[in-house]
Amino acid sequence: MKKMLGVIAGLFCTQLAFASQAIYFGETLGIGENVRLDSFPEATSARNSFLSGLTGVGTESFETYKNDADSPLTLDFSGIGSATLSGAGRVTSTLPGTTNGNGRYATDGDKYWQSIRDFTIDFDSPVSAFGFMGIDIGDRNGQVRLSLTTTGGSIQVINIDNMLDSPDGSVLFWGIIDSENAFSRITFENTAAGVDSFGFDQMTVGTPVPEPKTYALTLAGLGLIGCIAYRRRKMDSTLIAA
């Protein structure tokens, strides 16, 4: 009986180990380097879909840092965790309703992270979900290339498919949820480093919501194990009575 319980538990855990990776992307095109978009529906829709798959969300919007602060920078994800941002860039601020004159601005508040070269985020605790808003990416044919390092040491490289030669002031959202692989580091590479400057805001981490099939497997597994335990107790009671 103990052997049977062990086999069932093993199969149960194996089932839970397999879950799909989900990537979220939306891009709203800008209308000029001096125009700060009032809304960015495509990017916001992608972000909302990303957030709907998470619980315990924490977001860093750079509002607490002084203007022109550079790296290393400690990112605070609102009680969910923290991280260290290192590499090229600085915190930039614009007046409400304005841009920096080149199409970049914050998507939440008035401050954002601006970089023209590569930078890295090292998480104090591994995360399975990460997303961000990107501003004015691609107007000079640059794209973001992400290198995600898992806790096991493997590296996944993802090119964000933003529009090349896009209008100034465009806003995109990109996010990933991967319940199988937690990330300890993410490196942001600029494919047009030194030429195309990017803005980043609302960097977000969170815990993935268990998929419905996971709930079903949990209930089924607990129910089956409980049933076996009940039958075992009944069998023991019968033997004692005999």
Buried b vs exposed e over 195-207: b needs ≥16 C-beta within 10 Å? ebbbbbbbbbbbb
Instruction: Tell me which fold the domain 21-210 belongs to.
Output: Jelly Rolls (2.60.120)
pLDDT in tens, the chain (242 residues): 433 333 333 333 333 333 479 999 999 999 999 999 999 999 999 999 999 999 999 999 999 999 999 999 999 998 899 999 999 999 999 999 999 999 999 999 999 999 999 999 999 999 999 999 999 999 999 999 999 999 999 999 999 999 999 999 999 999 999 999 999 999 999 999 889 999 999 999 999 998 765 444 444 455 544 545 445 555 555 444 55
| Per-residue model confidence as pLDDT tens digits over 109-152 | 999 999 999 999 999 999 999 999 999 999 999 999 999 999 99
Contact 77, 62 (CB under 8 A): no
The token pair at 9 is: 């538990």
CB atoms within 10 A of CB 159: 11
Domain spans of the chain, in order of start: 1-19+211-242, 21-210
pTM passes above 0.95: no
Amino acid of residue 56 = G
Q: Give counts: helices (H), strands (E), the chain.
A: 3, 13
The token pair at 40 is: 């960015």
